[in-house]
Chains A and B, each alone.
Chain A
Amino acid sequence: MSSATIDSTNTALRDNAGVAEALGRNYSAGFVTEIEMTGLPPGLDEETIRALSAIKREPEWMTEWRLAAYRHWLTMPQPDWAKLKMDAIDYQAISYYAAPKVAPKSLDEVDPALLETYEKLGVPLHERAALAGVAVDAVFDSVSVGTTFRKQLAEAGVIFCSMSEAIREHPELVQQYLGSVVPTGDNFFAALNSAVFSDGSFVFIPKGVRCPMELSTYFRINAQNTGQFERTLIVAEEGAHVSYLEGCTAPKRDENQLHAAVVELVALERAQIKYSTVQNWYPGDENGVGGIYNLVTKRGDCRGDDSKISWTQVETGSAITWKYPSVVLRGDRSVGEFHSVALTHHYQQADTGTKMIHIGKDTKSKIVSKGISAGKSNNSYRGLVKVEKGAERARNYTQCDSLLIGKKCGAHTFPYMEVKNPSAIVEHEATTSKISDDQLFYCRSRGIGEEDAVSMIVDGFCKQVFRELPMEFAVEAKKLLEVSLEGAIG
């Protein structure tokens, strides 16, 4: 599908009534005819990969790259060190290329529960349809927000396109950087992703350019179904700046149970990359049935001196989250940051954290992780701070706090600290507690209901992380936690 399907106008942004009316209309029947083919049958072997690569009209080197990753993957065992209970995944039962699905034709065909959630989250009307997977009429496209953005980006020299397009249009850049941060054989899921990745985003900010907009804004409206094996590569050249937001606060419908994405960030000298994630995939029902397995490898490489990479994540969805956005601090004086809120409820399991590898001199890293466990869920922070011999005066500060809501959940902290340089300072602090009765009593004595009081306290608990999110998402993230925690109290 082209981006035109879910664009909207500036006018529409201001005029929700008009949008609602437009959304309510039925689409002309021919709209979903862009489907090119019917997808590959389930199964994975070299032929599948060749076929996938052919469908995507990839050059020979890309096919070979995928095959090399696949051959390596075959030699690897699935990791089992995370604190996760996970059913065995049958990799032969998955279809590695699915044809775009027939979209619901209007919001009327969408599950009312989903619409109710959007209402609670305050998702703008014109975005609801896109999120629910409704193929939005091209009526918005006339002065499309997306088009305006694209023009602006092109003027600045920024390349922002799908990975498939980048492989075709900018092969030299892709060849130079793809797999340079997360090598194909890095880990089991990264190897699988390298072999079968479906699509994703490619961002290239040339030397000295400050990306004229938060790519989040663009992405949110133009987000396409990138499939279950997403591959993202962001390269910021010398002195470039970019802020990128992935995902969405609103629950996204998805038929795929396994998501194994790889995200690579490259920051050259003085470049800065800020990567924010709001992840709210389907977490399974109250009894732990269904839900997405989100097994992701994310890594940033501060390759140049004085570069900076910062990860911010709000993780509330998925039945299983296995994710450790990391930063390799190679350049001198480079900075890595990780801010995370992970909330689990019902039977969700999250094993998430970060790795900060200090290699350059005077490198700094900061980790703030907030875990909230409710229901019968388990929420683990797992992190590594490693200071190599040459990392003179490296500095790390880590703070991990966990909040327990209920008697049957678990909150765990597994920080690893490996220090080989005597001028480094590494600090780790962690606490685990429940919402204090005193705080709750105070709120309630001021006439605030229990649920509201809890969400107020949770919001305060997470504030340090929300501050790092782009503004409109910070507001939504707060509401997202409220909605996710519904029914957790009492």
Chain B
Amino acid sequence: MSQPASVPFVASLGDAALPASGIAWLDALRREHLAAFAVAGLPDTRMEAWKYTALRALGQRRYANGDAQAATRAIDMAAFALPGVDGPRLVFVNGVFRADLSALDALPAGLTLQPLVQALRQDAEPLRFALSRHEPERGDAFVRLNAALAADGVVLKVAPGAKIAAPVHLVFLGAPADGELAWHLRHVIELGEGAELALVEHHAAAGEQQHLGTLVGDITLRDGAVLRHVLFQQAATGSSLIRHSRLQLGARAQAMLHVLELGGALVRHDLRVELVGDGARLDTRGVFMPHGRQHIDTQLAIRHQGLNTTSDSVWRGVADQRGRGVFRGAILVAPGADGSDASLSNKNLLLSGQAEIDTKPELEIYADEVKAAHGATVGQLDERALFYLRSRGIPLVEARALLTGAFCRAVLDDLPNAALREHLTGLLAVELPA
């Protein structure tokens, strides 16, 4: 690897102006992280975690950090409304919070929802632990970059026992600007004991652009908390989006995650889940559909640590044209985590001779009272099913669309929000390769 400083990407962001918080520990932390990023640079494909995602092209790009005009960019929020999602809303445009587009009036009792900047101004101390936690050695270049340059983000807290009925809508929009921008957001989300929340994380494009967004988030579920999280990603086809989330579950806590990855040019999602408390349960469902020249990489790592924890993951990939789908689904059962029940399935359709799927399900098991299974396939539509449909008079194109649709829909079937499910299912059908 060449010297990090000679890589245009590192050169353009390695000495970006740090956001000033006026909080001594935070400013020091940001300085450290930026220095570490400038020294280490970007990972290359010799690193196991980046084996299938080359950052050479990204490395050649230069980004301006932050968008000074974000507050004045005209956005029509109606275009980003989602059926069934009518709760409080927090909107960021190019990484900048837009109070005028958000809906934070009359928050339900027990819910705290505010931009990070505001939360830090009120009282930074409760956030200190979370913000200091992503140590540089665990994170990669983007976690460092984010820790240094993320001025804002979402702080969401649900009080113990509070059950928030209306889904919270977090909207991250990329809007065209004069050049290519890099923006960064840092989230801290916590559900108190027995709290319940539905969350919709929504990435969308307010016009075509080639920005880079990095998002790092910590989600903590205390004992008995329940989170239903939908991640709907439809960013601009030229943009890059790098996310790093950490989800921690206490005893009997439950998280259900539905992921739809449709947009973006270079998309990477590192999702680390720790089932710390006894009886914790995680369900993940996801579909990624790279086409054109999209590269979509999901790195899911689930750690079973408590007793009698459960995880069930179902992921589907459809790669068409020159798209490349990368999936890693790693399950680790820690020593003593008896009663763990883990299963993971990743099925993929490869629809073009230029597309590629790289999948790597992993099991790392250190306890014996466990059930762990995974399966992965890469293939194409069942010829017999296609033949059957055609013999019933359905044209080939339609038959293919029907079967591909059915292949992907499995991941949305158990999404509890019916209106949203219907909307996303319809959207899937539109996005499906013809």
Contact = CB atoms under 8 A, between A and B. Distances in A.
Q: Do A and B bind each other?
A: yes
B298 to A, nearest CB: 14
Interface centre among A81, A402, A410 (most CB of B within 10 A): A410
Contacts of B361: 413, 415, 428, 430
Interface in B332-376: 335-336, 348, 350-353, 355-376
A256 to B, nearest CB: 31
Contact of A389 (B353, B360, B380): B353
Interface string A212-230: 0000000000000000000
B357 A410 contact: no
Contacts of B357: 417-419
B60 interface: no
B6 interface: no
Interface stretch (A145-153, A325-333, A431-439): A431-439
Given A425-B377, A428-B377, A420 B360 contact: no
A427 interface: yes
B368 A421 contact: no
A411 interface: yes
A406 B362 contact: no
A20 interface: no
Nearest to A434: B368
A410 B336 CA distance: 11
A421 B352 CA distance: 7
B416 interface: no
B111 to A, nearest CB: 41
Chain B interface residue number, banded: 35 or more
B48 interface: yes
A414 interface: yes
A450 to B, nearest CB: 15
B378 interface: yes
Interface in A17-63: none
B351 A422 contact: yes
Nearest to A401: B373
B379 interface: yes
A418 B374 CA distance: 17
Contacts of B365: 402, 404, 410-412, 432
B376 A422 contact: no
Interface in B365-416: 365-380
B368 A425 contact: no
A423 interface: yes
Interface of A, secondary structure class, is strand
A413 B362 contact: yes
A410 B366 contact: yes
A430 B373 contact: yes
Nearest to B352: A422
Nearest to A392: B353
Contacts of B362: 412-415
Contact of B378 (A414, A426, A431): A426
Contacts of A411: 363, 365
Nearest to A408: B335
A147 B88 CA distance: 88
A441 B102 CA distance: 62
A421 B358 contact: no
A429 interface: yes
A296 interface: no
Contacts of B371: 432-433
Given A410-B365, A417-B358, A434-B368, A422 B373 contact: no
Contact of A407 (B358, B359, B367, B378): B367
B363 A432 contact: yes
Contacts of B366: 409-410
Contacts of B363: 402, 411-413, 430, 432
Contacts of B368: 404-407, 409, 434
A211 interface: no
A429 B356 contact: no
Contacts of A410: 364-366
A416 interface: yes
Contact of A432 (B358, B372, B375): B372
B353 to A, nearest CB: 6
Interface in A147-183: none
Contacts of B370: 404, 432-434
A389 B379 CA distance: 14
Nearest to A422: B350
B373 A431 contact: yes
Contacts of A431: 372-373
A260 interface: no
A418 B358 contact: yes
A416 B360 contact: yes
B358 A430 contact: no
Interface string B157-169: 0000000000000
A424 interface: yes
Contacts of A426: 376-379
Interface string A374-417: 00000000000001010000000000001011111111111111
A417 B52 CA distance: 11
A421 B376 contact: no
A141 B370 CA distance: 55
A424 B379 contact: yes
A417 B376 contact: yes
A415 B376 CA distance: 9
Contacts of A413: 361-364, 374
Contact of A423 (B48, B335, B360, B380): B380
A419 B373 CA distance: 22
Nearest to B333: A432
A361 to B, nearest CB: 13
Contact of B353 (A414, A422, A430): A422
Nearest to A421: B353
Contacts of B351: 422
B331 to A, nearest CB: 9
A420 B324 CA distance: 9
B333 to A, nearest CB: 8
B335 A422 contact: no
Contact of A421 (B350, B360, B372, B374): B350
Contact of B355 (A406, A416, A422): A422
Contacts of A416: 358, 360
A412 to B, nearest CB: 5
Nearest to A429: B375
Contact of B377 (A81, A418, A422, A427): A427
Interface of A: 81, 387, 389, 402, 404-434
8 contacts: A404-B365, A413-B363, A417-B359, A419-B348, A419-B350, A419-B356, A425-B380, A434-B369
Given A413-B364, A414-B362, 6 more contacts: A404-B367, A406-B368, A420-B356, A422-B351, A424-B379, A429-B375
